[in-house]
Amino acid sequence: MEREREAMTTTFKDVLARKGLKLGHYVGEFATPGIGYVLKEAGCDFVWLDMEHSGLGFETVHRTLRYFEAADLPAMVRLPSGAYDHVARALDVGADAIVVPMLGSAEQARAIVQRMKYTPDGGRGVALGLANDRYRQGPVLNALAAANRRTAFVALIETKDGIANVDEIAATPGVDVLWVGHFDLTCDMGIPGAFDHPDYLAALDKVKRAGKRAGKPIGRLVGDVAGGVALAQDGWDLIIYSGDVWLLQAAVRDGLEQIRAGAKAKKAKPAKDAKPKKKKGG
């Protein structure tokens, strides 16, 4: 019965269990009631909901996760930090998957697992029958075990330490995904934005190999279609295609520029079927 109740909504771990490429989108601004349905209809397999680089607080995340649940679209929530109150509170408001920034060691990873899992797998404070349980009631031990099965941990590798220790991080029980934060990683490596630099490419290769050895999927965000295709062909499992603000802005800019260009062309060249007006009495 408990397994049947868990299956009522799709979780991020359900997405991870599917074979093949999984695609998603970044949301950091448009926490609107229809966002889940919009992205589900667009073909997203999952969503990245960001707290680290946005103004979204826990109250907004609480509401927005309900929008995604209504559309049966799993979400991963990037936290501001790996502190206990950030980890536990995000899970309490209903996050199935948390993304922890600046993961640099297996010791840090074990600490996150301790904060996010209930006994006997961790020491998270117990809160049952709330948003994290979809407000369902049930036997305590069953609920604790179900939460531990359901919650996923995405380790964000975006520092030199994270790269140096990625094999140990990947092998840590409770770590479900290795995710590369490409901009922060290049900055920490002293090569900001140099995504074709040999050292950066070697770091990506190390993450790929660590994921393969540990049997953990790997993920990245891309800003364009060509980048997504390249990653997919290179064997990356999870890809976030751009973000809400960036795509809207690019689409609006492109449309406005085309309209302005078209208006200028019209003024510069009169229409071929334009006829001169006849003078009266002519």
Domain total for the chain? 1
pLDDT per residue over 127-185, tens digit each?
999 999 888 889 999 999 999 999 999 999 999 999 999 999 999 999 999 999 999 99
Residue 93 has a pLDDT of 96
- pLDDT beyond 90 at 191: yes
Q: How far apart are CA 237 and CA 205, in angstroms?
A: 14
Cross-strand bridge partners of residue 27: 49
pLDDT per residue over 83-108, tens digit each?
999 999 999 999 999 999 999 999 99
Question: Between the CA atoms of 265, 267, 269 and 272, what dihedral angle is there, to the nearest 10 degrees?
Answer: 110
Q: How far apart are CA 180 and CA 225, in angstroms?
A: 18
Domain-embedded: residue 256: no
Domain-embedded: residue 270: no
Q: Are 17 and 157 in contact (CB under 8 A)?
A: no
Measured in degrees and rounded to the nearest 5, phi and psi for residue 274 equal -70, 130
Domain-embedded: residue 250: no
Residue numbers annotated as active site = 53
Q: What's the predicted TM-score (pTM) here? A: 0.88
Mean pLDDT over residues 236-263, rounded?
96
* Structural domain containing residue 184: 2-243
Closest CA to 176 of 54, 4, 22: 22
Write the burial class of residue 42 (CB in 10 Å: 0-12 exposed, 13-18 middle, 19+ buried): exposed
Domain-embedded: residue 167: yes
Domain-embedded: residue 115: yes
Rg (CA), the chain: 24
Cross-strand bridge partners of residue 241: 222
- Specify the DSSP class assigned to residue 33: T
Residue 19 has a pLDDT of 93
Q: Any residues with CB less than 8 A from the CB of 30 and at least 6 apart, and which?
A: 244, 245, 248
Domain-embedded: residue 160: yes
Domain-embedded: residue 6: yes
Angle between helices 106-116 and 84-92 (to 10 degrees): 40
Closest CA to 38 of 12, 64, 16, 57: 64
CATH number of the domain that residue 16 is part of: 3.20.20.60
DSSP class per residue in 200-221 = HHHHHHHHHHHHHHHT--EEEE
